[in-house]
Chain A
Amino acid sequence: MILSAPVEYVPAGRLRIADLSRLAKRHPLVAVGGGLLALLIVLAFAAPLYAGDPLNMDPFARLQPPSAGVWFGSDNLGRDVFARTVFGARISLIVGLTSAAGAALGGLLIGIIAGYVRSFDNIIMRVMDALMSIPTILLAIALISLTGPGIAILIVAITIVQLPSVTRLVRSVALSVRERPYVEAAVCGGARLPKVLWRHILPSTIPALMVQCAIVCAEAILIEAGLSFLGIGVPPEIPSWGNMISSSRLYLSIAPLTVFAPGICLAVTVLAVNLLGDGLRDLFDPRAKRRR
């Protein structure tokens, strides 16, 4: 029947340019968010090609207004704000993307096992509940006090904190998929557990996981900026948006760009990631599309 035909999203096997342009037309949010994010990534990682040295201090050119030489002016130590901003993007993106990837991989593995192998479920989920109750900042401080500040330890802290939300999501999808007849059919056909998980359960969790990834990524970027602002994130000599805002906040009235440049970049990056996340949700959920 036309009205009740089941709608199930099936990803196309091959992606072509024509498909991409059609995707952009049908899902503008994905196109805008994804495009913006891609642009930011290119700009950040090509930074050495076009921007100056972000660490170079010039005590005689402190708090300079924007000019042809220093596009965004200079900060209180005479460093090029433009260079620091684009190099800072690297930190934000690296932290955001790696923690998202880490949380996604960890959450996927743990969530699928919790959702399918019922005997582990209770233990895993109680551990996740415990993790969820740890405040991010406290965990970051605790970890950093053990090892000293660094990007890696920051990523670990954020990943641990974000793990439960991804795990819960994957588990709930796995729980609903394991009841599907095609999963039971696979079991009847003699499939071993790893194969059932890999071939029949995992693919169904990917759409929801990608949406959750975007949310985690945006949150990770904000957490990094916040921790760096508080001085417990990235070491102060490394340019990061949080560090920049923190060290320049006293000079807001004299050199507003020293605060606004990283601030606006932070906002735009988070916005891009969130747009992508919303777009993906619409893309994967046919009902959300129809409601619009």
Chain B
Amino acid sequence: MLMRDSIGDDVLLDVRDLETHFYGEESVTRALGGISFQVKKGETVGVVGESGCGKSVTALSILRLLPKLNAKTVGGEVRFQGRDLLQLSDREMRQIRGDQIAMIFQDPMTSLNPVYTVGRQIAEAVQIHTNASRSDAMAKAKEMLRLVRMADPERRVNSYPHEMSGGMRQRAMIAMALACSPELLIADEPTTALDVTIQAQILRLIVDLKERTGTAVMLITHDLGVVAETCQRVIVMYAGRIVEQATVTDLFARPAHPYTQGLMRSVPDRRRGRQRRLPEIPGIVPSLREPIVGCSFAPRCPFATGICSEQTPILHDVEPGHAAACWRAEEVVGA
């Protein structure tokens, strides 16, 4: 197999310099400004950031599900098991989607068809990618619902999505996504719309299933708590770029980017004791319509110096396996 440089055998997804633009009536939004990262086999990677940072666009770019009219991936490669997904035909891409890479969304209602039973939809997903007969596929659907610990799977297999609660729908979505045993599961804010007790159940389920099936998971979320509880490695995004990448323990113990630090401090956390004021990140996220000179976080950054507003920092290793895109990352780690 043709492989560029030293990609280890265990790398499942290798994204390089991925760049996606959105086109408005008079402007171009640089939603992704060239991001590179890898997902290894069986690994759970969290992608965190605030709205508009490009985390969902990353997922859609990988799966080529961007709205065709106003968005385009203009550069980079997405190597999945050695093949560049961006070069595949639509037909080949459809084969990969759902079979080798599956995705679950924040609102399961948008991806479940309201006029078919949940069982039939899971069975259909199975039939598209395998030669299973209809009855085999239905049996598989039931098995999947049991796997995701759906209460009363025998009955639920014949339920319509609107007859289920949000938590059950998300279970059904996960069942559907995992029905073809994909290599990679992309979960975009899978628990954001759910209540905390249900969120805890669903996160537990995703972790369990990952351990059981060996599927790699890319978990997109805005919630640092969710990342801490489920992921092994974390990618922090800001304004369309990756600003920090580390194992979960390193990231929470020694955040190396001022943005990551700010993010962590602005979450109320009782372990720090009750302080009356939360440390806040001043200012707002920059507009991606105008080109950004220098570091995009510089205007809000307490560490910013002259170079920050002139040159874009490159993602570099601060310590082994821990990279940050900050000119002063080495000082920031200790701060």
Contact = CB atoms under 8 A, between A and B. Distances in A.
Interface string A193-207: 000000000000000
B56 A290 contact: no
A3 B52 CA distance: 9
Nearest to A5: B52
A2 B69 contact: no
Interface in A256-291: 290
Nearest to B54: A2
Contacts of A3: 56-57, 60, 67
Interface in B52-83: 52, 56-57, 60, 67, 69
A156 B12 CA distance: 74
B56 A1 contact: yes
A5 to B, nearest CB: 9
Determine the main DSSP class of B at the interface with A: mixed
Nearest to B189: A1
Contacts of B51: 1
A290 B51 CA distance: 24
Nearest to B20: A2
Interface string A3-28: 10000000000000000000000000
Contacts of B22: 2
Contacts of B57: 2-3
Contacts of B38: none
Contacts of A1: 51-52, 56
A2 B29 CA distance: 9
B31 interface: yes
A27 to B, nearest CB: 13
Nearest to A26: B25
B221 to A, nearest CB: 13
Contacts of B60: 3
A158 to B, nearest CB: 40
B29 A290 contact: no
A88 to B, nearest CB: 43
Contacts of B69: 290
A2 B57 CA distance: 9
A2 B55 CA distance: 11
B64 to A, nearest CB: 15
A23 to B, nearest CB: 13
A290 B31 CA distance: 20
A3 B67 CA distance: 9
Contacts of A290: 69
Interface in B169-213: none
Contacts of B29: 2
Contacts of B52: 1-2
A2 B56 CA distance: 9
Interface in B84-141: none
Contacts of A2: 22, 29, 31, 52, 57
Nearest to B50: A1
A1 B22 CA distance: 12
A22 to B, nearest CB: 10
B62 to A, nearest CB: 15
Nearest to A1: B51
B198 to A, nearest CB: 22
B104 to A, nearest CB: 16
Nearest to B51: A1
Given A1-B56, A2-B31, A2-B52, 9 more contacts: A1-B52, A2-B22, A2-B29, A2-B57, A3-B56, A3-B57, A3-B60, A3-B67, A290-B69
User: Which 6 A-B pairs rank lowest in CB-CB distance, beginning with the nearest?
Assistant: A1-B51, A2-B22, A1-B52, A2-B31, A2-B29, A1-B56
5 contacts: A1-B52, A2-B29, A2-B52, A2-B57, A3-B60
